[in-house]
């Protein structure tokens, strides 16, 4: 299914690092009664993702929350241990929920999967951001090629 503006998100359980180790977090629980700024990156610790994309949402967290965003979440096709390590190295604390889509299943369910085999990365997710209100997609900003424009925190702020 190619996800579009106005669609309800498909049922899916991400993996997050909890206090006692890996645990599931359903998209339903993440978004129920909340406005969520969710962004996806092709890979943790990759250049644009680490230098611009994740830090942008951390830097703009107060502005996003002032405009009605309750939660900020980052998803990547990496395992939970990598996502946890990346979040710690980037100093996100509790500001950004780090969601692991280790098998690219959410990317496949939402039609945002990217074939990264030419770069030795296997199946990945396209770079995008989406604004979700109570489980429904309000804004969906998918990057083309290797760009980083419409998925940024700044772009999302302009949409709020």
**Pick from 17, 13, 35, 31: nearest CA to 109:** 13
Containing structural domain, residue 140: 13-159
Q: Is residue 20 part of a domain?
A: yes
Look-up of token digits 């959410």: 106
29: domain CATH number is 3.40.30.10
Among the listed residues 3, 44, 49, 132, the single catalytic one is 49
| Strand, coil or helix: 120 | coil
Domains held by the chain: number: 1
Give pLDDT < 70 ranges for the chain. 1, 120, 122
Query: Strand, helix or coil at 102?
Result: coil
Model-level pTM? Answer: 0.94
Catalytic residue status for 74:
no
Backbone angles phi, psi at 120, to 5 degrees: 75, 20
pLDDT at 49: 79
* H helix or E strand, kind and range, residue 49: none
- Is 101 part of any domain? yes
pLDDT for the residue 118: 76
8-state DSSP, 80: H
1 falls within a domain: no
Predicted local confidence at residue 50, as pLDDT: 80
Q: Tokens in use for 128?
A: 């995008």
């Amino acid at each position: 299914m190619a996800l579009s503006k106005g669609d309800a998100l498909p049922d899916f359980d991400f993996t997050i690092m909890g206090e006692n180790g890996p645990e599931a977090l359903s998209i339903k629980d993440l978004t129920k009664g909340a406005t969520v700024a969710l962004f996806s990156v092709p890979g943790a610790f990759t250049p644009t993702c680490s230098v611009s994309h994740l830090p942008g949402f951390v830097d703009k967290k107060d502005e996003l929350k002032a405009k009605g965003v309750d939660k900020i979440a980052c998803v990547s096709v990496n395992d939970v241990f990598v996502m946890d390590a990346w979040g710690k190295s980037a100093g996100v604390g509790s500001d950004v929920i780090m969601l692991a889509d280790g098998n690219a299943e959410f990317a496949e369910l939402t039609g945002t999967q990217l074939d990264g085999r030419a770069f030795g990365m296997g199946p990945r997710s396209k770079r995008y951001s989406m604004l979700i209100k109570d489980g429904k997609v309000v804004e969906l900003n998918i990057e083309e090629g290797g760009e980083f424009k419409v998925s940024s925190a700044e772009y999302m702020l302009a949409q709020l």
